[in-house]
Amino acid sequence: MEPLGTFEIIARILYQLSSVWIALILLFALSIAFKRRLGLYGKLFDSPIGMIGFGLVMFWVFVGIFGALDLIVTHDPLTQVSGMKNKLPGTPLADADEGQYGWYLLGGDNLARDVFSRMVKGAWIVVQIAPLATLFAFMVGITLGLPAGYFGGRLDTFLSFLANLILAFPVILLFYLLVTPEIVATGLPTMMAIVLFMFPIIFLGVLLNSRYRTQPAFRTPLLVGILGVSLWLYLALISEGGYLVRSVPGLPTVLDPFDIPGGILVVFVSVVFVNSPTVFRIVRGLALDIKTRDYVAAAQTRGEGPWYIMLWEILPNARGPLIVDFCLRIGYTTILLGTLGFFGLGLPPESPDWGSTINEGRKLLSIYLHPALPPALALLSLVLGLNLLADGLREESLRD
Amino acid sequence: MGLFILRRFGVMLLTALCLTFIVFFLTNLFPNLEKLAKTQGNQRMSDEQVQAWLDNRGYSQPLLTKYGQWIGVVPGFTKTLNDGQFVGTCVRPGQTQEETPRFCGILQGDWGYSTRFKENVDEIIWKRLGNTLYLMMWVMILMVPSALLVGVLAGMREGSRTDRSLSTFSILTTATPEYVSGVIFIAVFTSSTVGLKWFKGTATQAMDDPTFENFFLPVLTIALYGMGYIARMTRASMTEVMTAQYIRTARLKGVSFPNIVVKHALRNALIAPFTVIMLQFPWLLNGVVIVESLFNYKGFGWVLVEAAGNNDIQLLLAVSVVSVFVVLITQLISDIGYVYLNPRIRIS
């Protein structure tokens, strides 16, 4: 077969991504049709910047999801095909089997793997980890930041000192100390996971309890149900092979539906750990500001409990800046994940995540551009999309 | 004000103590010590040999004792081996038993001995920090004026075409981490494929002989990432100032637009970015580590990577002390500077 020309490569890539285009068009058509009924999300479609940002973000989300479903990838991201080492984009496979895709659309890397498929699979890793890690960081930050701002005093001094302590660490030094095979062997990341993953459960429990405290008949089954499920998820997340840390028994293997590999867990934990102090500071500042408002005083006069005021009076009124920061922070988390991959920390070296791929590609950068550039541009466009989305959201939420 | 600075210094010391203890704890976990023993001794050591190696070098003492020795409040570890050799934490190559001081810690001005470079830690740090400071100086020279210029130009006429394009530019730079922009720059400007070859892809020679050709790309890479953020802050502060009453008065009085911007708006608009610029230092440190690895420039960031990769405990501690003080001192300067620049705010 002949090598593909530039035009043909682009056409074939666009065709490979057709499922993504369909999903994007459907999403945008539905959202624009019903935008007046969708609140802040709908207003996003009034601002061109927000729409571009949202489009970029959703593009990568769909690429990640459909990539994981094997709708997009042309080759296995880990398989090496002989004769394809460092081959330019559009090179045909020397002897393609029946049913095998005939070309490396974006060329081969220095281990003769398909760059295009690796980039698509890398999107899935980011889409899996970044939003979830950011969400966890927010749970930790909110659960600690609200009482620090609301109660103040010693609690605030102590928690702020802790947050500043973590913030004073250069992120990379922290990563180098936490994300090594030696530290994973000590079980420290699992212990940190045990502590950090507890916060979402505490958050949910307190959130629901403070709201429905006055209706015990409704509250008790609700709490038992939700906390039961989240506790089970919590134990399933952190226990591996029936144990929490080495000899401490955890969830029996029968009830443990999934295991997170140690490498992924430590990456996840350290990203949450690095992000939560900043969220803490933002939430604390917002709580300090909002607690002086009249509606908080009114709730206090009504005799509402402090947690009700914090979670149902202060938090909803702080949502604007928090949503904007959430978008920015997903972008920042993506950058952090890339940094980890770039330094070869945490994820296995053959993993197709963008940071590792950039790191591998940069070694031969002066001769071959194609292995390093696609993941670099992918990361750039995703983070840019998140930034634009945050900008659009900020503009639209300030408007009313 | 004096009391405020004194209290800040107290908090700073406490933070540094806590942080170094955390670093100390993490580097002294057994798997890390085992790795250290195997890289320093040999890879095929048995468990007993590892234990003996650690015992002979004082690594098996209790954590607090070791930490006290590093600080310099506990006498250094010493031991005479079976073959009569005198070893200890304070012993440097070529020193006899009599010459060895009893204490050797931070308080005595001794930062320890690097197991990775076989050199005194303070010498390594000073040498490498010099390289990095030189890099940072040029980053600042490039980053701060251009960021302020972009921010002021974008903010003086909100919503104009200049504003839109400059704002997009600053969002783009904040969305490009150093390892992405560095790779793109190397690909475009140095590779033989694109063929521009304007710059050199490594900054190794820049340590002895920095020229525009080998030093500009690393500087640009760090500066770009930090620039967008400062520019956006400047823009926000500028747009706010431009809607102020006294600007309107100046316009009604008939002052020309360039005069309003330069003489009336600029001074007040630059207060907020000042804090942001100071707080950027810790972030620059991150960028420095990435860029130094990417361009092979042996500075402070490179030492950090080397020390962490080889579990060089004392070097790593010194690195963290330096970086923590950079972070805390810039915070202090930004707080004090903010008060001086803005008389409306006084520390209570």
Nearest of A266, A262, A280 to residue A176 by alpha carbon? A266
A216 and A316, same domain (yes or no) = yes
E strand or H helix at B234: helix B212-242
Q: What is the pLDDT of residue A243?
A: 67
* Residue A236 maps to a domain: yes
Determine the distance in angstroms separating the CA of B183 from the nearest CA of chain A, rounded to an integer.
7
Nearest of B260, B227, B241, B311 to residue B31 by alpha carbon? B311
Q: At B94, which amino acid appears?
A: G
Q: Residue A62 burial (CB < 10 Å; 0-12/13-18/19+)?
A: buried
* Residue A336 maps to a domain: no
Determine the distance in angstroms separating the CA of B302 from the nearest CA of chain A, rounded to an integer.
11
E strand or H helix at B247: helix B245-253
Pick the residue from chain A with its C-alpha nearest to B199. A366
Interchain pair B34, A188: CB under 8 A: no
A157 and A91, same domain (yes or no) = no
Grouping H, G, I as helix, E, B as strand and the rest as coil, residue B79 is strand
Interchain pair B15, A165: CB under 8 A: yes
Question: A182 contacts in B (CB within 8 Å)?
Answer: 29, 31-32, 34-35, 311
Which one of B17, B183, B321 makes the best mutation probe of the A interface by having the most chain A beta carbons within 10 Å? B183
What is the four-CA torsion angle of A193, A196, A198, A200, rounded to 10 degrees?
-120
A309 and A257, same domain (yes or no) = yes
Q: At A275, which amino acid appears?
A: N
Interchain pair B171, A391: CB under 8 A: yes
Determine the distance in angstroms separating the CA of A254 from the nearest CA of chain B, rounded to an integer.
31
A153-165: pLDDT as tens digits = 899 999 999 998 8
ipTM rounded to 2 decimals: 0.86
Residues 6+ away with beta carbon under 8 Å from A399: A43
A82 and A231, same domain (yes or no) = no
Q: What is the pLDDT of residue A248?
A: 66
As for how many domains chain A has, the answer is: 2
Pick the residue from chain A with its C-alpha nearest to B228. A387
Question: Given the structure tokens 């220095």, which residue do they identify?
Answer: A110
Tokens representing A368 are 């071959």
Which candidate from B18, B19, B304 shows the least CB-CB separation from A172? B304
Residues 6+ away with beta carbon under 8 Å from B218: B135, B182, B203, B206, B291, B292, B294, B295, B297
Interchain pair B201, A365: CB under 8 A: yes
Nearest of A383, A358, A363, A360 to residue A373 by alpha carbon? A358
A76 and A193, same domain (yes or no) = no
Domain of A272?
124-330
For chain B, the helix, strand and coil percentages under 3-state DSSP, each to the nearest 5:
70, 5, 30
Determine the distance in angstroms separating the CA of A224 from the nearest CA of chain B, rounded to an integer.
38
User: How far apart are the two ends of chain B, measured CA to CA in Å?
Assistant: 10
A152 and A278, same domain (yes or no) = yes
Tokens representing B99 are 């010459």
Residue A20 scores a pLDDT above 70: yes
Question: Angle between the B2-27 and A153-168 helix axes, to the nearest 10 degrees?
Answer: 60
Grouping H, G, I as helix, E, B as strand and the rest as coil, residue A105 is coil
Q: What is the pLDDT of residue B155?
A: 87
Question: A391 contacts in B (CB within 8 Å)?
Answer: 171
Q: How far apart are CA B291 and CA B298, in angstroms?
A: 10
* Residue A306 maps to a domain: yes
Q: How far apart are CA A373 and CA B55, in angstroms?
A: 49
A91 - beta bridge partners?
A: A104
Question: B19 contacts in A (CB within 8 Å)?
Answer: 165, 168-169
* Residue A349 maps to a domain: no
Which candidate from A161, A176, A387 shows the least CB-CB separation from B308? A176
Pick the residue from chain B with its C-alpha nearest to A383. B175
Q: What is the pLDDT of residue A308?
A: 92
What's the pTM value of the predicted model, to 2 decimals? 0.89
Which candidate from B19, B34, B177 shows the least CB-CB separation from A168? B19
Which candidate from A178, A335, A366 shows the least CB-CB separation from B177? A335
- The mean-pLDDT minimum among A100-109, A361-370, B214-223, B337-346 falls in B337-346
Sign of CA dihedral B253, B259, B261, B263: negative
Phi, psi (deg, nearest 5) at residue B213: -65, -45
Q: What is the pLDDT of residue A115?
A: 87
Question: B29 contacts in A (CB within 8 Å)?
Answer: 182-183, 186, 188
Instruction: Give me the DSSP letters along B98-139.
Output: TTS-S--SGGGT---EETTTTEEHHHHHHHHHHHHHHHHHHH
Q: What is the pLDDT of residue A1?
A: 67
A240 and A182, same domain (yes or no) = yes
Residues across chain B: 348
> What's the mean pLDDT in A82-96?
77
Q: What is the pLDDT of residue B345?
A: 57
A265 and A289, same domain (yes or no) = yes
A235-268: pLDDT as tens digits = 887 776 666 666 666 666 666 666 676 678 888 9
Tokens representing B28 are 């002294």
Ranges of residues in chain B whose predicted pLDDT is under 70: 84, 94, 342-348
A197 and A92, same domain (yes or no) = no
A131 and A116, same domain (yes or no) = no
Q: What is the pLDDT of residue B348?
A: 45
* Residue A363 maps to a domain: no
A54-71: pLDDT as tens digits = 999 999 999 999 988 888
* Residue A50 maps to a domain: yes
Which candidate from B171, B180, B289 shows the least CB-CB separation from A379? B180
Question: A169 contacts in B (CB within 8 Å)?
Answer: 19, 320, 323-324
In order of their start, the domains of chain B are 20-110 (no CATH), 129-341 (1.10.3720.10)
Pick the residue from chain A with its C-alpha nearest to B293. A343
Pick the residue from chain B with its C-alpha nearest to A373. B184
A190 and A74, same domain (yes or no) = no
B53 - beta bridge partners?
A: none
Interchain pair A177, B26: CB under 8 A: yes
The domain boundary, picked from A330, A358, A385, lies at A330
Determine the distance in angstroms separating the CA of A177 from the nearest CA of chain B, rounded to an integer.
7
Tokens representing A383 are 């983070």
* Residue A366 maps to a domain: no
* Residue A343 maps to a domain: no
Residues 6+ away with beta carbon under 8 Å from B5: B332, B336
What is the percent of chain A with per-residue pLDDT over 70, rounded to a whole number? 93
E strand or H helix at A58: helix A48-68
A216 and A70, same domain (yes or no) = no
B78 - beta bridge partners?
A: B88
Interchain pair A186, B191: CB under 8 A: no
The domain boundary, picked from A278, A306, A330, lies at A330
Nearest of B104, B42, B52 to residue B78 by alpha carbon? B104
Q: What is the pLDDT of residue A30?
A: 92
